[in-house]
Amino acid sequence: MERLLASYRAIPPGATVRLAKPTSNLFRARAKSTAPGLDVSGLTDVISVDPVARTADVAGMCTYEDLVAATLPHGLSPLVVPQLKTITLGGAVTGLGIESASFRNGLPHESVLEMDILTGTGDVVRASPTENPDLFHAFPNSYGTLGYSVRLKIELEPVKPFVALRHVRFHAIDALIEAMDRIIETGGWNGERVDYLDGVVFSADESYLCLGVQSATPGPVSDYTGQQIYYRSIQHPSGEKHDRLTIHDYLWRWDTDWFWCSRAFGAQDPRIRRFWPRRLRRSSFYWKLIGYDQRFDIADRIEKRNGRPPRERVVQDVEVPIERTAEFVEWFLATVPIEPIWLCPLRLRDAPNSTGGWPLYPIRPHHSYVNVGFWSSVPVGPEEGYTNRMIERKVSDLDGHKSLYSDAFYSPEEFDELYGGEVYTTVKKIYDPDSRFLDLYAKAVRRQ
């Protein structure tokens, strides 16, 4: 903390305050800065785990990989563990996160009991439902524009050593969404409890719900960190397919192949995969490859050499009300040449710390939404961000929201209406009166 505060004081008053952080899970480019950044190198650990109270005190830059490694020996897990190992707890709270427990546990920020936040004034303040509640409720989806969390106290839940999986095949999107809705409402499928729920759409007539239930029963388990690929294991002609994983491997089932995005690097080609070191088969390494591509325009140069136009990056997660999800997915499949796509339902928790709402990402309480994730590229259109803009319009038409970790093209008026508006402006003036941090529109849309 002393190093962090010293690094804050070393930043010139006119320079934008940023993290001096070597890695990121954001997909939007940002302007280069020559000013020194905040030194958060000492804020990467789990401070303590209380197995009786089922809570953990965690430094803001601690990754979920390290957090899970500290809690699983106690038979405990964070209520929601985002899919990629190097996502930090602070990042998931200020930038939102989601996973297959979200249909019962909501979003990561809802299990936060209190936070210590470095604000734009250089002070570290405590934020909770009762202490600085305006900052506490505005912090999720603020992306470091209201401050940076340096310590978070979170709830944990008990977990069992294994997860039994059922991959249920559907031949129509509306049938899958109807089944998903029933599971959310009842907590089960065919009379059996469901602890984890997500889905994959390969095409309009091939989609799957992946149902997980915790189990203490020992037995054989699959391993998708080697030659086998998890998302390919889901596919089958009809009915249900069963599988088992350890709870550790279930939580990180998507990380080995970055969902399915590792295919862009050839990592799913059996001839290459057998020689690809297992330790480099993980999202953090693929991120490095993406960084090289962005730095040297490798992909666009290859497209140009082959006589093809450059490509527009379409990397997004959107939340759509469940009753409009089939309409969105069917539109997407007919309009955007990207597959597969990920489906993950969520519902805000009925918990004491959600009574003030979350104004920067205002989804309705007591209502089910589905996160639709799609991560690829398409040929460029007639204007910058053509396909992304088209998706933004469709999501807004369906009363949905889009996560801000990637490219956004909203006008200032549209952005204010969707992401906090006057509430955000008021909290910003209180905790960052000199605008040491960028504002949310400048960071998310203008990419400053």
349 touches 233 (CB < 8 A): no
Query: To which residue do tokens 């136009």 refer?
Result: 309
Residue-wise pLDDT for 360-386, tens only, equals: 999 998 999 999 999 999 999 999 999
378 touches 413 (CB < 8 A): no
Give yes or no for a cis peptide into 352 (omega within 30° of 0).
Answer: no
CA–CA separation, 95 and 402 (whole Å): 12
CA–CA separation, 33 and 189 (whole Å): 52
Residue-level pLDDT at 352 = 46
Q: Which residues contact 156 (CB under 8 A, 6 or more apart)?
A: 49, 54, 55, 56, 71, 74, 76, 77, 78, 79
Residue-level pLDDT at 290 = 82
Residue-wise pLDDT for 206-232, tens only, equals: 999 999 999 999 999 999 999 999 999
Residue-wise pLDDT for 399-414, tens only, equals: 999 999 999 999 999 9
Average pLDDT for residues 162-179, to the nearest whole number?
Answer: 98
Residue 31 has pLDDT above 70, yes or no: no
Closest CA to 124 of 88, 96, 143, 152: 152
Question: What DSSP string describes 27-67?
Answer: -S------S--B--TT--SEEEEETTTTEEEEETT-BHHHH
CA 358 to each of CA 32, 136, 279: distance values in angstroms, whole numbers, following the listed order: 31, 9, 38
Residue-level pLDDT at 202 = 98
CA–CA separation, 168 and 242 (whole Å): 9
Dmax over CA atoms of the chain, in Å, equals: 63
Class of CATH domain 2-159+424-444: alpha beta
Residue-level pLDDT at 356 = 58
Give the domain ranges of the chain.
2-159+424-444
216 touches 160 (CB < 8 A): yes
431 touches 135 (CB < 8 A): yes
Model confidence at 69, in pLDDT bands (50, 70, 90)? Answer: very high
Closest CA to 253 of 274, 232, 271: 232
Residue 265 has pLDDT above 60, yes or no: yes
Residue 14 has pLDDT above 90, yes or no: no
Residue-wise pLDDT for 122-139, tens only, equals: 999 999 999 999 999 999
Residue-level pLDDT at 241 = 97
Residue-wise pLDDT for 286-340, tens only, equals: 888 887 666 666 666 666 677 777 899 999 999 999 999 999 999 999 999 999 9
Residue-level pLDDT at 16 = 85
Residue-level pLDDT at 15 = 85
Pairing of strands 124-127, 162-170: unpaired
Residue-level pLDDT at 355 = 47
Query: To which residue do tokens 């302007």 refer?
Result: 31
CA–CA separation, 57 and 132 (whole Å): 19
- 101: tokens are 């427990």
CA–CA separation, 72 and 68 (whole Å): 6
- Mean model confidence pLDDT for the chain: 93
Across the strands, what pairs with 163?
214, 245
Closest CA to 376 of 261, 204, 215, 257: 261
228 touches 203 (CB < 8 A): no
Residue 353 has pLDDT above 60, yes or no: no
CA 76 to each of CA 154, 161, 269: distance values in angstroms, whole numbers, following the listed order: 12, 10, 36
Model confidence at 354, in pLDDT bands (50, 70, 90)? Answer: very low
148 touches 118 (CB < 8 A): yes
85 touches 63 (CB < 8 A): yes
pTM: 0.94
